[in-house]
A and B are shown apart, each in its own frame.
Chain A
Amino acid sequence: MNKQILGYKCKKCGHVQYPYHSRCKKCGHTEWRGFDIVFDTAPLPQDGKLLTFTHLYALPPDFEAVTVSFGIVELSDGHRITGQLKIEAPKIGMKVQGKVELVRQEGYTKHWGLVFYSAA
């Protein structure tokens, strides 16, 4: 199954937020279940358009690559997300398609996140 990034849907007003906040940023609601805070989750779309990007040449010491590209993408439902780009010559406004991949390995900890490709 394809991995997905989840948005957090308010139990009261239905607003979906990403990233996670401990209460709804729209209506301020917190849904308690015992000592737990609960949200419904809903997968975010993975297609959208590129808002801005950078190619970083000074990477954290755990990266082996010479450069990694990052971008902020406006997803097709209007949410924005930061991710890595695997696009040779990115352009602001271009259509992109994301895929959840291994984006960073710090020691034994593996981080998964969205990597965007050109959708053209």
Chain B
Amino acid sequence: MRDVYVVGIGITSFTRLDYPLAEIAAYPALQAMQDAGLDKVDHVYVANMGGGRVSNQTALGSAVVDHLCLWPVGAETIENGPASGASAIKTGAMAIASGMMDTVLVTGAERMNEVNSLEATDFVATLAHPMAERIYGVTLPALAGMFTRLYMERYGVTSRHLAMVAIKNHANACLNQFAHVQNKISMDGILDGKDASHNNPVIADPLRFFDICPVSDGGAAVILASAEVAKKLGKPLVKLAGFGQATDTHAVHEREDPTALTAVRLAADKAFKMAKLKPADVDVAELHDAFTILEIAESEEVGFFEKGKGHLALERGETALNGKLPINTSGGLKARGHAVGATGIAQAHEIVLQLRGDAKKRQVKDAKVGFTCNFGGFGNNVVCLAMVRE
């Protein structure tokens, strides 16, 4: 198996974008190609979830190749719900590792602004189990609310811990010009003050408005290459040293322990083993905080902290920008935003910036090892990536 390097990156603003879906995917792709110093690639993978239903754009892979004038290269759309982005990176990495391709463009995009937020949530809920969950009106926030209540009961996590995740990630996003939400929030404003219940209403009890990520438009791209190509291009060498994926039951209630995110644990294990690394080696991580509770739970399942102790590390400031292991320096899904198909690629984008030393005001000092967790479904399809600066 050959080594895989990330040689180019690109990203759009994660706000509201009035461009067609294929252009939202093409824009960061062109940036990434320019960054890498390549004007063609061997293959294209495009990550997206809602093109067919929300944007009336199917076969997005072909549409993106057309925008980029990259004919006749092969291209596919990769749809794996909210984990589409990292799934596409993993697929591209396999193409390089196998020796079939020397350069692969992986770009992801989502455009949700045709629909309002309830319609967007209803669309995302189509990934839930059709008979056992969706028919009841269960949405992702509802699944997350039930998960949170159990987590609180079992491990002593409180609304205050959840708010700490939101406050931290909003503060990080203020240092990221591409973030969807760039406003500082405070404990007083969202939990303690007299306007808190107005500012931060309950959405899926015990989850409140500021525990849930926004619905964003946006795109992100990376170029993957073989070692031979990467060394010729002369960019800082960031190796995609490990990747892992795992699945779990479709219906959340069917899992033996409903507070376990088994697929996160297994995907992370695989990524670390492949990279010959341990969780303790990681300097900076992007975890899929679609709901604040998920940052805490994933930080345990991937192996950074003991099960049930993630909220204590958060309390001690270990996951803050100046902590021992900064998590979601980009602002995370919570504040950088969640442009579904692009999210896993935006996570990788942030890690590459950090490992290159290009993250400016939010740079983690001497970051050499980075990790991402892209969480699909409600934890039923998870892809983790481990990256190393050489």
Contact = CB atoms under 8 A, between A and B. Distances in A.
B136 A52 contact: no
Contacts of B138: 70, 82
Contacts of A55: 145, 202, 204-205
Contact of B132 (A52, A58, A82): A82
Contacts of B250: 19
Q: How large is the interface on B (under 10, 10 to 19, 20 to 34, 35 or more residues)?
A: 35 or more
21 contacts: A18-B254, A20-B131, A53-B146, A53-B149, A54-B142, A54-B204, A55-B205, A56-B137, A56-B139, A56-B145, A56-B203, A57-B203, A58-B117, A58-B118, A60-B122, A60-B125, A70-B142, A72-B253, A72-B258, A83-B136, A111-B135
Interface of A: 18-20, 51-61, 63, 68, 70-72, 80-84, 92, 103-104, 111, 113
Interface of B: 117-119, 121-122, 125, 129, 131-133, 135-139, 141-142, 145-150, 153, 201-207, 250-254, 258
B209 to A, nearest CB: 9
Given A19-B251, A82-B252, 9 more contacts: A52-B149, A52-B150, A55-B202, A57-B202, A57-B203, A60-B118, A82-B138, A84-B137, A111-B135
A60 B142 CA distance: 11
Contacts of A104: 135-137
B252 A72 contact: yes
A111 B128 CA distance: 15
Contact of A103 (B119, B137, B204): B137
A52 B135 contact: no
A57 B209 CA distance: 10
A78 B149 CA distance: 21
A18 B253 CA distance: 10
B170 to A, nearest CB: 20
Contacts of B147: 52
B118 A61 contact: yes
B129 A52 contact: no
Contacts of A56: 137, 139, 141-142, 145, 203-205
Given A81-B132, A113-B136, A57 B204 contact: yes
Q: Which 10 pairs between the two chains have the least Cβ-Cβ distance?
A: A54-B145, A111-B135, A19-B132, A80-B253, A60-B122, A55-B205, A52-B150, A52-B146, A72-B253, A56-B142
